[in-house]
Amino acid sequence: MDLGTRQQRLILGLLLAGAGQPVGLGEIVEVLWGEGPPRSAVNVVHRYVGALRRLFEPDLPPRSAGRWLRGGASGYRIRIDADALDLLRLRALAEQARSDEGAGRLAEALSAYEAALALWRGPCAGAPELGASGHPAFGVVDHECAGLIREATSLALRLGRVRSVLPVLRRVAEHRPWDEALQARFLLALSADGQQAEGIALYQNVRHRLADELGVDPGPELREAYRLILRQNTAGPAAPGPDRVAGPSSFTGVLPAQLPADLPFFTGRDEAQRRTLSLVNGHVLTQASMPVLAIDGIPGIGKTSLAIHLAHQLADAYPDGQLYVDLRGFDPGQSVLDSAEVVQGFLNSLGVPDAGIPASPHARSGLYRSVLAGRRLLLVLDNAHSVEQVRPLLPGAPGCLVLVTSRKRLTGLAAAHGAHLMTLDVLSPEEARAFLVARIGAARAAGDPAALAEIAERCGRLPLALAVVAGRALVHPDHSMTAIARELRDAQGSLDGFADVGDDIRTIFSWSYRLLSVRAARVFRLLSLHPGPDITVAATAGLAGVPGGEARVLISELIQTGLLAEHAPGRFSIHELIRAYAWELVLLHETDEDRARASGRLADHYRQTAYTAADR
């Protein structure tokens, strides 16, 4: 039957949603035209209702009331019973189900719920061409149906028969992404149906959507459902016998929660967070391998801060605890941590006493992987020196998440263990401004936005330098941001602009510098003499007076320690604050004659390059 125009169909939908109760003219007008109805709105409604009457009763005389659509002072209503209207039938079945459930007839109750849910066809007035599914008159019906599916799912979970309600539950949940009670039951139903991986991924997506669009975390009901499915997903066999490696029950009293505190004002890195969530979700869904994310970048770029922030964001997904260690890969004041020592510390944290830990590093690593098998732990391996240091610390089976930070790009982890590599760049101008605002306060930042932008640029948008300047602003609340910007400007790009804590920045950079070989350290110092934004291998060879092959090896060493970056194929750049550090060193270690000769060699290289290009 052709129900006619959009307006006629909306009126009919509204009357059917009323299920025989009167619907006022004002409500009809609002549904059809919103807040801007025409002056003739009431007369137009009367015409549409007349057209509907003739549609149902073609022989109806003009101006007759008809049998089905009745009008009165209170509006219009449709005469209909449960045999002719699915909504009334659904309500009758729902009442029957509740009565059966209250009387303990659980199987019969679930059957009645299933029959009621079979009548659901989608959101009330949800046809796209109607454009009215969000109206309260229809929303009431949708809310009623959502409540029904929640009740049905709760009973199905009790009876272990979730598969019968899962298809409808899935469709309703897709239409109601903000209904946390419904999403919680969807998680539990997926888990009960053996689809824990999908349930875990669903929770992560809901949590991310709530944070991005509403700025809130999941509520207690949704978090509790997530905790339950994680426990089910990690449940193992019964307690081990004397010849088996300890299982889940071997965890002692307190689960490890070793993460350092998250930064209270963490800002930026949105893309890195989205990429990490996508990575974790992908591995959870496939359960084919263990996700490893290795974050690298120059000193002061915020690798550790990001890793710790990510770990706190993801901690709920790993209910068996979090392990953290600073591997001291670049601290010249302390020796690099031995992997066997780290494994012993982790085993102790997991409840294995020293007496139960083998002396052999190989056997110790085997025990470590066995203890982690079947568990969901999050590991943060901070400040790693090399792939060789990290490899013995990796779990041997899916279920855990490993976050690694290093100044080196750990390509060996990607090749041998499928690690995902993430190189951090400086913050964008917007992120750098947000970084400062979060720390000094919006009121103070608003006083001089131009000064704030200048500070961000003179810090090279490096998180470490930005944090130093923000700290200075907080220590000296009487200093305006304009004055702080002027101090940095007067320093003319040197680290003296960070004089109050400049030694700290120099110390961070020195950790990488001290790891360089003698020849690589010399090249690093000489790079401060190069005037351009980037440099090639050939230009580096000319600057340092070494063969091209040796220059390539020395550049690779600088990249591995995080002091140089290959921002484009064959072109290498140095951050301006690291360049300032190199300039201090070149003045300290190279004579005037050495610097002049290096600059002369560089000029000769570019002159010869220009001649060669002109001859072509």
What's the predicted TM-score (pTM) here? 0.58
Q: Scanning the structure block, which residue is given the tokens 């299982």?
A: 247
Q: Is 69 helix (H, G, I), strand (E, B) or coil?
A: strand
CA distance 498 to 488: 8
* Concatenated DSSP letters of 122-163: SSTT--TTT--TTSHHHHHHHHHHHHHHHHHHHHHHHHT-GG
**Cβ contacts of 137 within 8 Å, gap of 6 or more:** 14, 17, 18, 23, 27, 31
| pLDDT score recorded for residue 246 | 37
CA distance 123 to 172: 8
Instruction: Report the DSSP beta bridge partners of residue 573.
Output: 565
The β-bridge relationship of strands 292-296 and 401-406 is parallel
Q: What is the mean pLDDT of residues 587-608?
A: 93
**Which residue did the predictor score with more confidence, 603 or 274?**
603
Give the pLDDT confidence of 197-221 residue by residue, as tens digits.
788 888 888 888 888 888 788 888 8
In 3D space, the residue among 405, 450, 407, 404 whose CA is nearest the CA of residue 429 turns out to be 450
CA distance 147 to 186: 13
CA distance 275 to 213: 18
Q: What is the mean pLDDT of residues 279-302?
A: 78
Q: What is the mean pLDDT of residues 477-504?
A: 76
CA distance 150 to 144: 10
Cβ atoms within 10 Å, residue 296: 23
CA distance 165 to 222: 19
Alpha-carbon distances, residue 599 vs 17, 392, 543 (angstroms): 83, 46, 7
Q: What is the mean pLDDT of residues 538-553?
A: 94
Across the chain, what does the average pLDDT equal?
83
State which of 63-72, 105-114, 219-228 shows the largest mean pLDDT.
Answer: 105-114
Q: Is 295 helix (H, G, I), strand (E, B) or coil?
A: strand
CA distance 434 to 11: 50
CA distance 370 to 244: 10
Alpha-carbon distances, residue 134 vs 128, 137, 251, 256 (angstroms): 11, 8, 50, 47
State which of 129-138, 274-283, 409-418, 586-595 shows the largest mean pLDDT.
Answer: 586-595
Determine contact, residues 601/608, Cβ cutoff 8 Å. Answer: no
CA distance 616 to 610: 10
Evaluate if residue 615 carries a pLDDT over 60: no
Helices (H), 528-575: 537-544, 548-560
Determine contact, residues 450/417, Cβ cutoff 8 Å. Answer: no
Q: What is the mean pLDDT of residues 386-411?
A: 90
Instruction: Report the DSSP beta bridge partners of residue 324.
Output: 380
The β-bridge relationship of strands 322-326 and 378-382 is parallel
CA distance 347 to 370: 11
* Concatenated DSSP letters of 106-128: HHHHHHHHHHHHTT--SSTT--T
The β-bridge relationship of strands 420-423 and 401-406 is unpaired
**Which residue did the predictor score with more confidence, 474 or 599?**
599
| pLDDT score recorded for residue 240 | 34
Dmax of the chain from CA atoms? 111
Residue type, 320: D
| pLDDT score recorded for residue 83 | 73
CA distance 397 to 289: 7
**Cβ contacts of 450 within 8 Å, gap of 6 or more:** none
The terminus-to-terminus CA distance of the chain in angstroms comes to 79
Give the pLDDT confidence of 316-332 residue by residue, as tens digits.
888 889 999 999 888 76
